[in-house]
Amino acid sequence: MEATANEPITLTYPKAPLTKRVIAFFIDAIMIFTLALGLFWVSRLLVENTDWYRGAFETYVEVSSSSRLYVYKETEDNLVQIDTYAKGTFTSDDQKVSYLESRIYYFYVDDPIGIFEPGEGKRIYDAEKVGANAYKQADGSPYFALNSSGEPQSIVSSNALLGFYEQATISAIEYLNRSESYVNAKRTLSQTINLLLIPLSLAISFALFELLFPLLFFRRGYKTIGMAVFHLALLTGEAVVPRFRTFLFRFLFMLVVELLASLMTFGVPLFVTIGMMFIRKDGQALHDFLFGTYMVDGSDQSIYFSRQEYLDLQEQARGTSKRPYLTSWYKDPDMLPPREIHPEDEDKK
């Protein structure tokens, strides 16, 4: 095809097959999350050795252990809820029930961390056993009844009674949140992990595979590794490679909205963009729709940075029996040695 600078040029690229896009997506996702997991593990090791994190963790362990609702395992450097600890430590149901009763009773009645008014803890615990708001079995029958002394007494087997102590443990831990030092330490640990290390690890990994790799190795079509495997490419509506600014803003939208915001919204933005890929005829995901880009199959067609590049290549090939062939994989968009046109291809010139 011959064209001048003022004549329209028609370039046709097949829409990227959905199957290839999905597999490419999973290839990229696996690499991103694998690297993010490694980064998270390393960063957590570093953070756990800082004074402020160790101080918060020691406070959290001290208050939790003092409450008798947790057991601290030094070998694992981890806290275990008493109901979980009882299941893994004792063999008989009687032992489990006796252990849990003593621990929860101590939390409410002895009040080791000072979170209840005098007598309040015992009233709360008794109300969980008997009364209108007492915990019930699955069939609605009670676990306890008042004895002749007016104290709650179990009226079911030890095996059935374990169901009560599972609920009572959860309730007691909720009251533990009355401790300001416990809440502050827990918040520090949670925010460090959930709001700093996890998002940061994902962001770094995502930037490496979705921004740096396409820029450094697959700039002709801004291909990720998954896209490169299937010869997919990113183009604008003018059938050329997007400008860097467009690609950068597209990446930032993917990072902030579709990745990081999905962590806070149970994946809603991510589900929306994946759904658009399946629903729209042109296969545009949300980020492609907003920035005017398209995913195409570049297996049988060269990818161009501009209209002028296409015209220059046509000018070079004009009047010869050979045509230029572009590389879409690495380095600069230099010309490879011309490729011979076979007789059966003459009608395609």
Residues 141 and 277 in one domain: no
> Higher model confidence: residue 244 or residue 314?
244
Residues 156 and 282 in one domain: no
Residues 174 and 200 in one domain: no
Task: Give per-residue pLDDT as tens, 27-46.
Answer: 999 999 999 999 999 999 99
The 3 state secondary structure assigned to the chain is: CCCCCCCCCCCCCCECCHHHHHHHHHHHHHHHHHHHHHHHHHHHHHHCCCHHHHHHHHHHHHHHHHCCCEEEECCCCEEEEHHHHHHHHCCCHHHHHHHHHHHHHHHHHHCCCCCCCCCHHHHHHHHHHCCCCCCECCCCCECEEECCCCCEEECCCHHHHHHHHHHHHHHHHHHHCCCHHHHHHHHHHHHHHHHHHHHHHHHHHHHHHHHHHHHHCCCCCCCCHHHHHCCEEEEECCCCCCCHHHHHHHHHHHHHHHHHHHHHCCCHHHHHHHHHHHHCCCCCCHHHHHHCEEEEECCCCCCCCCHHHHHHHHHHHCCCCEEEEECCCCCCCCEEEEEECCHHHHHHC
Task: Give per-residue pLDDT as tens, 42-95.
Answer: 999 999 999 999 999 999 999 999 999 999 988 777 899 999 999 999 999 999
Please tell me the predicted confidence (pLDDT) of residue 9.
Answer: 64
Residues 143 and 100 in one domain: yes
Number of structural domains (the chain) is: 2
Whether 10 is in a domain gets the answer no
Please tell me the predicted confidence (pLDDT) of residue 314.
Answer: 74
Please tell me the predicted confidence (pLDDT) of residue 304.
Answer: 86
Please tell me the predicted confidence (pLDDT) of residue 299.
Answer: 84
Average pLDDT over residues 328-338: 37
Give the model's confidence band at 335: pLDDT under 50 very low, under 70 low, under 90 confident, else very high: very low
Please tell me the predicted confidence (pLDDT) of residue 311.
Answer: 79
Give the model's confidence band at 308: pLDDT under 50 very low, under 70 low, under 90 confident, else very high: confident
Please tell me the predicted confidence (pLDDT) of residue 95.
Answer: 96
Expressed as residue numbers, the domain containing 264 is 18-43+196-348
Residues 241 and 282 in one domain: yes
**Mean pLDDT of all residues in the chain?**
87
